[in-house]
Structure formats: structure tokens, C-alpha cells
Amino acid sequence: MEREDNILAVKAKKWIEALGKKVVGFEIETRCVEGIRVTKAEKGLLRFSITVTNDMSDKEGNWHMGAIATIIDNLGAAAIGSSLGEVKASVCFDISYFSAAKVGEEVEIEAKLLENRDKFSLVTVEVKRKDDGKLIALGKQWMSSVTRTGAHPSKL
């Protein structure tokens, strides 16, 4: 079982690294994780570092809140994937913003699977400034398994 857990963590790591290199994903996802480095990958826990770039910033040179939300969503999904081997869709997504990060600043991010119940999983993603450890944002999301059986007809 330990080997399987490691395989899932490695797959999650490779997926995020591929996003950061623009090999997979949509432009909005790849722009938000470009240059990301995975510093730890194990079952249910992933750590990352990334430097805020101009592509991730707003007019004032701050890390754009939408870019932070996108990265939290992707890294939360990766933490779940590192444990369960599947990517899930967000059903409840909550982010608290505490401080800003500027272009050129390096941040550290930790995504952690807290709970898995049936098809639902709870993950938290903590974003901190690397130089002083100041909290930038904290994301919490419930994610659900998605079925790939195709479209369901409307009942309306």
C-alpha cells in the first residue's frame, strides 16, 4: 500500500509540474502556476513554492486574488489526487485573504487533505510569504467525485 500511496503522490506532483510548464491545462491554470516548484509530495500533503510574476498580478503589482483562487483550487485538487488517485470538482470553496504578495516575492503553499467521506473530500490550502511566514490566504474546499458518464438530460 505504501508504494501505491507514493505512486499517487508522484502522479499529483507531475500533474502540477506539467501545469507549471504549460504542458497540460487551460491558459488560466497554467498562467497561475507557471514556474511552480513542488518541495514535498506525500499522501494527502503537498508543499510548493512559487515566485509571483507579472502574469499573476493586478494593476498595482499585487498577486491577483483570482490567480490565488485558481492556484488554491488546483493545488487542493492535487492534494486529494495524491491520496485518492482522482481529481475532484469543488462543491464548496471558501478563501480568506489576509495580506498581499508583490511581483517578485516568493510564496510557499501547503495543500492538505483533511477528510475523505464517501465521494466528498475536504482540503485546506495555506499560502504564506516565504521571507517572513506571513499568511497571505487560506483556502478550504469540499470537493466531490465527478462521474464521467456523459450529460444528464434536464428534468425541467
pLDDT tens, per residue, the chain with 156 residues: 445 557 877 777 776 777 667 676 666 676 677 788 989 989 999 999 999 999 999 999 999 999 999 999 989 988 988 888 777 788 899 999 999 999 999 999 999 999 988 889 999 999 999 999 999 999 999 998 765 555 556 566
In a domain, 44, yes or no: yes
The CATH number given to whatever domain includes residue 103 is 3.10.129.10
The residue whose grid cell reads 507557471 is 34
- Reduced to 3 states, what is the DSSP secondary structure of residue 150? coil
Task: Provide Rg for the chain, Cα atoms.
Answer: 16
The answer for residues whose C-beta is within 8 angstroms of residue 103's C-beta and 6 or more apart is 52, 53, 54, 56, 57, 61, 62, 63
In a domain, 150, yes or no: no
The residue whose grid cell reads 434536464 is 154
In a domain, 156, yes or no: no
In a domain, 57, yes or no: yes
In a domain, 154, yes or no: no
In a domain, 80, yes or no: yes
pTM of the model: 0.82
Q: Domain containing 122: what range? A: 2-144
In a domain, 45, yes or no: yes
In a domain, 138, yes or no: yes
